[in-house]
A = this chain, B = another copy of it.
Amino acid sequence: MKTFQIKPIGRVHKDGDKTWITIAPDYQDGLLGLEQFSHIMVFYWFDQHDTPHDRGILQVHPRKNPVNPLTGVFATHAPVRPNLVAMTICELLSVVNGRLELDAIDALDASPVIDIKCYIPERLSTKKVRMPGWVNTEKNSGADVKG
């Protein structure tokens, strides 16, 4: 099958309690009006896992907890998967000269940003949701909660 090409448009930065995204100059025209949204969807790339090995992993124990049943990566948010697309919703504090100040982000420092979309809750809200038991078990902390 045909493959598609992703060009990073920016990067995640974390320094102490500051979190921001820089958008490359070539793409900054795409930010017009973004400051009118309080929240954005940030799409980034799990680049630390961009190896044939990690992109071949199809099953994991969610949240890296062996107690959780072996589960297909498509039934998780694990950072290993065939295409390393990550999505997280962030509160946007300001947009100045291609710098997006965020409240926080569930991403590693220096992660490549591949897309930004406005966050419109009605598009994402659903009423009755059914989920397996492991979703509501106690979470580990930090990066381990991915899954």
Q: What's the least CB distance linking A60 to chain B, in Å?
A: 10
A143 CB-CB contact with B under 8 Å: no
C-alpha gap A137/B122 in the complex (Å): 14
Given contacts A73-B30, A81-B30, A83-B6, contact A121 B117 (CB under 8 A): no
Enumerate A80-96 residues with CB–CB distance to B below 8 Å.
Answer: 81-85, 87, 89, 91
B89 touches A132 (CB 8 A): no
B4 touches A118 (CB 8 A): no
Q: B-facing mask of A93-106, CB < 8 A → 1, else 0?
A: 00000000000000
Q: Which residues of B contact A130 (CB under 8 A)?
A: 36-38
Given contacts A1-B24, A135-B120, contact A115 B85 (CB under 8 A): yes
C-alpha gap A59/B72 in the complex (Å): 38
A-B complex: 6 closest residue pairs judged by Cβ atoms? A32-B72, A38-B130, A36-B132, A74-B116, A34-B75, A30-B58
- Extra inter-chain contacts (20) besides given A4-B112, A32-B59, CB under 8 Å: A1-B112, A2-B112, A4-B8, A4-B50, A7-B82, A29-B58, A29-B72, A30-B82, A31-B75, A33-B69, A33-B71, A34-B75, A74-B118, A77-B117, A82-B115, A85-B115, A89-B124, A118-B131, A119-B129, A121-B129
